[in-house]
C-alpha cells in the first residue's frame, strides 16, 4: 500500500552519474538515495531493471526476470579483486551526459569476462546455489544468452531451427558445449541481485522506498518466447501471429507498432496465471511498489496483424480482466499502481476504477483551456499518483516552450503561477505536490528545469537520444535537495 501524501523522484538507474558511461548500483546510487532523503522524499521511482533490448529499450528486454549486468558497479567488483585499477581506467567514458550504448556494448562484456575469470572459482558455490534458487527462469535465460552469443547476436527468429525450436538432442548438445558461457551469465546475475539487494536495503533503511516498473509485454527475442512458447500467440514455426501496440494517441497519429508477441490468455487462465504469479513474486522481492505498464491491456489489448504496415490496422481484443488483477493482488508484499494512460473508453475507465488501484495523472496533459481535465491538480482524486511528466513525455520545460500551443501555455502559466525567477520546473513540482493525490512524482529533469535535450524517451522513435540522458553529479547538491525539502514540507508531504 502506498504511503498517504508522500512524494518521490523518477530517475532511471542508467541516468545516475559516474565515470563509467552508465549509471550503476554502487556509490553514486547511494549518494542519490542520500539526496532523496535530504530532500524529504519517500520514493525513488526507476525504470525496469531488466537488460535492454532493441533500441536499448528496457521495455523490449530479452528477459522478464534478469537484471541488467551493465548496472554492475565496477568499483565494487574492483574491491572484490575482480578488476584492476588499469581496467577501471579503461572503462571510463568521456561523455558524462549520455549513455553511449554502442561503446558500452562493445567494451563492457570483455571487462565483465575478466571479472568472471578471476571470480568463477571464488563464487562457484554461491552461483550454483543461486541457479537452484532461481531454477524457474535462470537456467533457460543463461542458455538463451549463451546461444545468442554463439549465433553472433542473431535474433531468435534467425537461429538454426533445431536450437530455435528446442529440439531435445540438439539442446542437450548445446548445453554441454556452452556450459562455461552459461556459468558466466549466471555469475553476472548472481552479482547483479547481490548488488541490487544491498542498494535496496540501503534505501529502505533511510526511509526511501523503491517504485519499480513491470513491462506488460516481453520481446520477441527473449528467453520467455524461446523457453515457453505456449505463453504466447505463436504459429507452428514459433513466430508471432500478431503483435502488440496501440492505436493513434497523444504520442503519434499513426499509433505505435511495438512488435511484442501477444499472450495466449486462454492458456494463462488454464494455469491459474502461474507465470504471472511467479513474475509478481519476483517483483515483490525487487521493489516496494510496482507500476504496471499499459494496465489497460489487462482489459483490452491492441492486436496488430503480423504483416500490417501500420498500427492503425490493429483491433481490440479482450484481455484477462480482473482475474489477473486478483492473482497479482494476492501475491504477498506486492503493491501495485496502474499506468492507465492512452486511449481509454468508459468501459476501460470503469475497469480501472473497479480494480481499486491508484492511477496516474500527468501534468503536461492537464492544460486544455477549453476543458476541465482530470489531470489538473485540483481534480485529482486521493487514490492517484500525480506526475509532472514521465519517461515518455517531454520534460515540463520542453512541453511549456516547445510543444504547448499558446492557449495551453497561457493557462499553465496562470494556473501554476509560474515564475522565471523561481524556475518553471519548480512551479510544476509545486502544482503537483499541492494536489490531493496520495503520491506526487517528478522526473529529476523537472526539478532541474531541463528542456528537450534531457527527455528520456520519445515513443514511436528510435535513436541514440532515447534512454540515454544522464544527470551530472554536481546537480545533486544541497541547494536542490534543500529547496525540494522546503517545497515538500510546505505541501505537507514530509515532516
Burial of 202 (0-12, 13-18, 19+ CB in 10 A): middle
Beta-bridge mates of residue 7:
440
Among 343, 442, 336, 341, which Cα is nearest to 386's? 442
Residues contacting residue 420 through CB under 8 Å, at least 6 positions apart:
none
Tell me which residue of 184, 90, 190 sits closest to 134, measured CA to CA. 190
Q: How many helices (H) and strands (E) does the chain have?
A: 19, 12
Half-sphere exposure of 154 toward its Cβ, with a 13 Å CA cutoff? 12
Which of 126, 162, 392, 473 is labelled catalytic?
392
3-state secondary structure 325-386: HHHHHCCCCCCEEECCCCCCCHHHHHHHHHHCCCEEEEHHHCCCCCCCCCCCHHHCCCCEEE
Instruction: Exactly one of 162, 249, 293, 368 is catalytic; name it.
Output: 293
In degrees rounded to 5, what are phi and psi of residue 386?
Answer: -95, 135
| Rounded CA separation 460/259 (Å) | 11
Active site residue 339: yes
34 is known as an active-site residue = no
Q: Is the dihedral of CA 145, 149, 155, 157 positive or negative?
A: negative
State the Cα angle at 227 between 226 and 233, rounded to 5°.
65
Q: Which of 134, 140, 339, 340 is catalytic?
A: 339
- Asked about 422 being catalytic, the answer comes back as no
Q: Pull the grid cell for residue 330.
A: 494476492
Give the helix/strand (H/E) hosting 164. helix 161-164
| 487's grid cell | 517545497
d(CA 305, CA 296): 20
Catalytic residue ranges: 293, 339, 392
Amino acid at each position: 500500500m502506498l504511503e498517504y501524501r508522500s512524494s518521490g523522484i523518477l530517475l532511471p538507474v542508467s541516468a545516475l552519474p559516474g565515470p563509467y558511461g552508465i549509471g550503476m548500483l554502487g556509490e553514486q546510487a547511494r549518494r542519490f538515495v542520500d539526496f532523496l532523503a535530504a530532500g524529504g522524499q519517500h520514493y525513488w521511482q526507476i525504470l525496469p531493471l531488466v537488460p535492454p533490448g532493441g533500441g536499448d529499450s528496457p521495455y523490449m528486454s530479452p528477459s522478464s526476470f534478469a537484471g541488467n549486468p551493465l548496472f554492475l558497479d565496477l568499483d565494487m567488483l574492483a574491491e572484490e579483486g575482480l578488476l584492476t585499477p588499469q581496467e577501471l581506467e579503461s572503462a571510463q567514458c568521456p561523455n558524462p551526459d549520455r549513455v553511449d550504448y554502442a561503446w558500452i556494448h562493445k567494451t563492457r562484456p570483455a571487462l565483465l569476462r575478466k571479472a568472471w575469470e578471476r571470480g568463477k572459482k571464488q563464487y562457484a558455490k554461491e552461483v550454483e546455489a543461486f541457479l537452484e534458487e532461481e531454477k524457474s527462469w535462470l537456467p533457460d535465460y543463461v542458455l538463451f544468452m549463451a546461444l545468442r552469443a554463439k549465433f553472433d547476436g542473431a535474433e531468435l527468429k534467425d537461429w538454426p531451427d533445431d536450437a530455435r525450436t528446442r529440439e531435445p538432442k540438439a539442446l542437450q548438445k548445446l548445453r554441454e558445449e556452452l556450459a562455461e558461457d552459461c556459468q558466466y551469465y549466471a555469475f553476472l546475475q548472481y552479482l547483479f541481485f547481490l548488488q541490487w539487494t544491498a542498494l535496496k536495503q540501503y534505501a529502505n533503511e533511510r526511509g526511501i522506498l523503491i517504485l519499480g516498473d513491470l513491462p506488460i509485454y516481453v520481446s520477441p527475442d527473449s528467453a520467455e518466447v524461446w523457453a515457453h512458447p505456449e505463453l504466447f500467440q505463436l504459429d507452428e514455426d514459433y513466430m508471432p501471429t500478431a503483435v502488440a501496440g496501440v492505436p493513434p494517441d497523444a504520442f503519434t497519429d499513426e499509433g505505435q507498432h511495438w512488435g511484442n508477441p501477444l499472450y495466449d490468455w486462454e492458456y494463462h487462465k488454464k494455469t491459474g496465471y502461474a507465470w504471472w504469479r511467479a513474475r509478481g513474486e519476483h517483483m515483490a522481492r525487487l521493489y516496494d511498489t510496482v507500476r504496471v505498464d499499459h494496465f489497460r491491456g489487462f482489459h483490452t489489448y491492441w492486436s496488430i496483424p503480423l504483416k500490417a504496415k501500420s498500427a492503425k490496422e490493429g483491433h481490440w481484443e479482450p484481455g484477462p480482466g480482473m482475474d489477473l488483477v486478483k492473482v497479482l493482488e494476492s501475491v504477498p508484499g506486492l503493491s501495485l499502481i496502474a499506468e492507465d494512460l492512452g486511449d481509454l473508453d468508459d468501459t476501460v475507465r470503469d475497469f480501472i476504477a473497479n480494480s481499486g488501484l491508484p492511477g496516474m495523472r500527468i501534468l503536461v496533459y492537464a492544460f486544455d483551456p477549453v476543458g476541465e481535465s482530470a489531470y489538473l491538480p485540483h481534480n485529482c482524486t486521493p487514490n492517484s499518483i500525480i506526475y509532472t511528466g514521465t519517461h515518455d513525455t517531454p520534460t515540463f520545460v520542453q512541453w511549456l516552450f516547445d510543444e504547448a500551443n499558446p492557449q495551453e501555455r497561457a493557462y499553465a502559466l496562470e494556473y501554476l503561477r509560474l515564475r522565471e525567477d523561481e524556475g518553471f520546473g519548480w512551479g510544476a513540482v509545486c502544482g503537483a505536490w499541492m494536489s490531493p493525490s496520495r503520491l506526487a512524482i517528478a522526473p529529476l529533469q523537472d526539478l532541474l528545469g531541463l528542456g528537450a535535450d534531457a527527455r528520456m524517451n520519445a515513443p514511436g522513435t528510435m535513436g541514440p537520444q532515447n534512454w540515454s540522458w544522464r544527470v551530472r553529479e554536481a546537480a545533486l547538491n544541497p541547494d536542490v535537495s534543500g529547496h525540494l525539502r522546503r517545497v515538500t514540507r510546505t505541501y505537507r508531504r514530509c515532516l
